[in-house]
Amino acid sequence: MECAARGRGTRCIGPPTRRCGRCGAVAYCSLSHQVSHWSDHKEECARLEQQMKNADVLHDFPFTFSEEATIQVCEKQATRCSFLMKRDLHHVGMWKYECSCGAAAIASSNYSRVDEDWSLSSVLCPCHEPVTPISMHLSSWKDYYEWRCLPLHSPAAFLLHWPLTVYHAIQLAALSSSISKSSNRLHIHYLGPDKELHQLAVFGELHALFPRLQVHIELVGPAIPQIRDGESIDLCSYAHCVDRGCSCSSQSENADRGISDGRTSAVILQLHKGFYHDRYRDIKKDSVPDLIVAPNAGIAAYSSWLPTIELIKEMNVPAIFSDYCEEAAHLAASCISTVTNCPLRVPIQLNPFRQPMVVEDSALFLPCYSNCFLFGM
């Protein structure tokens, strides 16, 4: 957390311990900095105040660990690392990238393999086909856990928020019915991947979410290593558990040997390094998108989004974005409206499949979650 008036002239005299008495979302190092910043802050104060009042809604999850992962982390009674340590997941497999202690930076030099497993028992993760095919629209983590027969103490949602956010984006874009009627293929252009590049195995869950559908995802962004530019990944199976003798191991081996399990679905990922507006001409030769998804986009924070927004407007393809908090989504919506001269097609709304652990040390006192709010053009 930094002083909200940092960089506006005089130097900060200490840590930002003086919070705005109205919204409580920003803090200052001194009274003089608070006074000097008011001319800017007064435009946002009432909006931030309302967003702070919605904190309880953001913290509302059905899991047995919800308070530990939300309130306790916010109040610094717990950390992401301590949560993972209690469950023997700290610095393990795909979980390495969920803490802020530096493990992710060390591990990223050896970019994670797609065959990383859940590091969980079969009871705690979706490592194989669902007991019953999906037959209803999933609208919450509770719906999903009941369908996948997972106990509410399973931390699997920490990683599953990536494919479940894609699933929900497809529902928001109203693509499900049109795809089932016209084609068995779904092409998604996925912009700005970062942490999920180390957790790609969880996208295998799209097999269960979209049975008998060919899902092709083009991941495009500057965070993709140059050595992986153009790499194609066929997720033939679900990420598997650690239980010896579980059926997921034999299914994975059969997939590696090209033995069919009778399923006609497919999940294929293709990696492209660079900005979308620079790479689109090459990508569209093989993949014209049905949907564009941009997780944790930060549109207002990066000027590189402007030409991409202009391109998406020209393409007239539905695009769903997410961001960490409502204020970031609000600022992004303003940027999009300025570029397109049009209101959002999908208004800002809470993502029911946001990651159920709060982000530590956010820029504001607003509760922040990965893939927290969704909106679209």
Is residue 257, in this structure, part of any structural domain at all? Answer: no
Give the least confident one: 9-18, 88-97, 239-248: 9-18
pTM summary value: 0.91
| pLDDT at residue 254 is higher than 70 | no
Are 303 and 370 contained in the same domain? yes
CA distance 354 to 158: 9
Q: Number of structural domains, the chain? A: 2
Are 15 and 87 contained in the same domain? no
Are 46 and 192 contained in the same domain? no
Q: What is the pLDDT of residues 78-137, one digit of tens each?
A: 999 999 999 999 999 899 989 877 655 555 555 556 768 999 999 999 999 999 989 889
Residue whose pair of structure tokens reads 């497999």 in the numeric block = 93
Is residue 368, in this structure, part of any structural domain at all? Answer: yes
Is residue 343, in this structure, part of any structural domain at all? Answer: yes
| pLDDT at residue 253 is higher than 70 | no
Contacts of 193 (CB under 8 A, 6+ apart): 219, 220, 221, 223, 224, 295
pLDDT-derived band of residue 141, with 50, 70 and 90 as boundaries? very high
pLDDT-derived band of residue 259, with 50, 70 and 90 as boundaries? very low
More confident residue, 145 or 97: 145
Enclosing domain of residue 142: 60-244+264-376
Dihedral of alpha carbons 192, 194, 199, 201, sign: positive
Is residue 252, in this structure, part of any structural domain at all? Answer: no
Instruction: Average the pLDDT over 343-353 and give the result.
Output: 96
Are 11 and 124 contained in the same domain? no
